[in-house]
Structure 1
Amino acid sequence: MSEPQSKTSPPSSGDTSSNPPQGEPDIQVLHLECPRHGVFEAYGRTAGAGMPIAQACPRCCDERYHDDETRRREARRQHAEQQMRSRRMREIVAAAEIPARFRDDSLENFNATNAGQRLVHGVCCAYAKTWPEQLQKGGGLLMTGQPGTGKTHLACAIAHAVMANHMSTVKYGTVSSLSRGIRATYGARSEKSESEAMADLVRPDLLIIDEVGAQSGSSHEMQLLFEVIDSRYRELKPTILISNLNAKQLEEFIGQRAMDRFSECGPVLAFDWASHRSSQEGMA
């Protein structure tokens, strides 16, 4: 004959999951109701007044756990995405090679005090605001005027805006620096060919060419400049040209073919006021 089961021994196979733990006479199966999932069973004690101790609905607990885990996964995803974006932004800014003097220039801190300045500032703001459209059609800008009138400030401000808001790639350079980069490929130890160096100037979403006409360029430099403008024109890549010459002088310098290509892509902005270099740092 089998021995009687003690009160402290594990439940026998005949016990059900709804049976309360043995040895606890004041523990019983409670039938509680969840507003969302209906009646559920739980172990609980009853107080003297017969009020059961509250128990959480297991399905609600399970849903909260999964909701919390989903939020944790989403937070981890957003954190990883932000880190990747920050890393990519640092790479884009470094590749742009914008001079340190113009790294803090923005559309917001441009000091527009007269009608002409407000006009060119408005055009540049509109250009940056409609960047996706400019990028699609290869829209450009031609900035002309004396040194110290804010041309480079606004060009670099546009560059900062399109990098920050659209993660677009930018390349800044003067005619002489870009020409030097291409000429450097002619050496026997160069790791790049001339065509690869030219491709580096066509690839960025936005190319800013500064100091056009600052010195008399050689026929080779003029040919390279035309090839860059023409290649970007054909590939619908936006370009900003900056020159101390007026529009007529600039056409004589870069040639009618290059001027025609460029004029088709965007307006000529005349910075026809006195230099503010002495009173506003960063204007050029």
Structure 2
Amino acid sequence: MNNAGFRATNLSSTFRLVLYGKRGTGKSFHASCIANAVIERGFSCLVTDIKQVVNLMESSFEKRSGNLERILAPDLLILEDLGAQRSTEYVMEHVYDVIDGRYKAGKPMVITTNFDFRERILNATADDPWGRVFDRIVEVGFPVKYDGNSRRREIGMKNRKDFKRKLGIEGIES
């Protein structure tokens, strides 16, 4: 079996995940694990965020369609931190172009976001600048909620406690 046949039959176009939840709960970590597994199996993967997409699209107006094609070309696209960027009409246009382009091409994607899927994404109103983007995400995305405390905060607290112990200042507030 050639590599192209392997790709066509084993990386499902229905693989569209929306990993959502609070900061530090493991969304990006798990998205990276998915990227590693996909790459290990011989597929291509691009992990990026909308800010990088917009920067690439702004870099050359003449090359805009080619740049969009480069973003859409990998077998799997992982969009990190959707919603962390400014919600301008210009940014929303690029977000929609990427998500809609993947949808039309029948290619899988993983989206990470701090937006709550049920409260923010499903209930977007017509005047919401994210409404059009969310409408497409709801159609093609399978939501996976990440709950709990921020692992970064827990690790930070442990590191500070260990550092205080090493310095011999355990009882001192910081």
TM-score, structure 1 length as denominator? 0.47
- Does residue 249 of the first structure (1) align with residue 125 of the second (2)? no
SS at match of 1:277: helix
* Structure 1 CA distance for aligned equivalents of residues 16 and 66 of structure 2: 23
Could you tell me whether the CA contact under 8 Å between 2:46 and 2:74 is conserved in 1? yes
- Does residue 173 of the first structure (1) align with residue 43 of the second (2)? no
- Deviation above 4 Å: which 4+ runs of structure 1? 131-134
Runs of 5+ unmatched residues, structure 1: 1-130, 187-191
Is the alpha carbon distance of 1:147 and 1:235 closer, same or farther for their aligned partners in structure 2, counting shifts above 3 Å?
same
Q: Which has the larger radius of gyration?
A: 1
- Does residue 207 of the first structure (1) align with residue 82 of the second (2)? no
Q: What amino acid is aligned across from residue 68 of structure 2 in structure 1?
A: M
State the 1:154 CA deviation: 0.3
The match for 1:159 among 35, 39, 64 is 35
Q: What amino acid is aligned across from residue 104 of structure 2 in structure 1?
A: R
SS at match of 1:268: strand
Could you tell me whether the CA contact under 8 Å between 1:226 and 1:254 is conserved in 2? no
Alignment-derived partner of residue 99 in structure 2: 229
Runs of 5+ unmatched residues, structure 2: 1-6, 157-174
Could you tell me whether the CA contact under 8 Å between 1:169 and 1:205 is conserved in 2? yes
The match for 2:137 among 251, 262, 267 is 262
TM-score, structure 2 length as denominator? 0.74
SS at match of 1:237: coil
Could you tell me whether the CA contact under 8 Å between 2:20 and 2:112 is conserved in 1? yes
Could you tell me whether the CA contact under 8 Å between 1:144 and 1:151 is conserved in 2? yes
SS at match of 1:137: coil
Equivalenced residues, count: 145
Deviates more, 1:177-186 or 1:223-232: 177-186
SS at match of 1:185: coil
Could you tell me whether the CA contact under 8 Å between 1:143 and 1:270 is conserved in 2? yes
State the 1:274 CA deviation: 1.1
* Structure 2 CA distance for aligned equivalents of residues 210 and 244 of structure 1: 10
SS at match of 2:152: coil
Report which structure shows greater RCO (CA 8 Å, sep ≥6). Answer: 2
Q: What amino acid is aligned across from residue 270 of structure 1 in structure 2?
A: K
Could you tell me whether the CA contact under 8 Å between 2:49 and 2:81 is conserved in 1? yes
Q: What value does the CA root-mean-square deviation take over the aligned residues? A: 2.3
Alignment-derived partner of residue 219 in structure 1: 89
State the 1:217 CA deviation: 2.3
Could you tell me whether the CA contact under 8 Å between 1:134 and 1:140 is conserved in 2? no
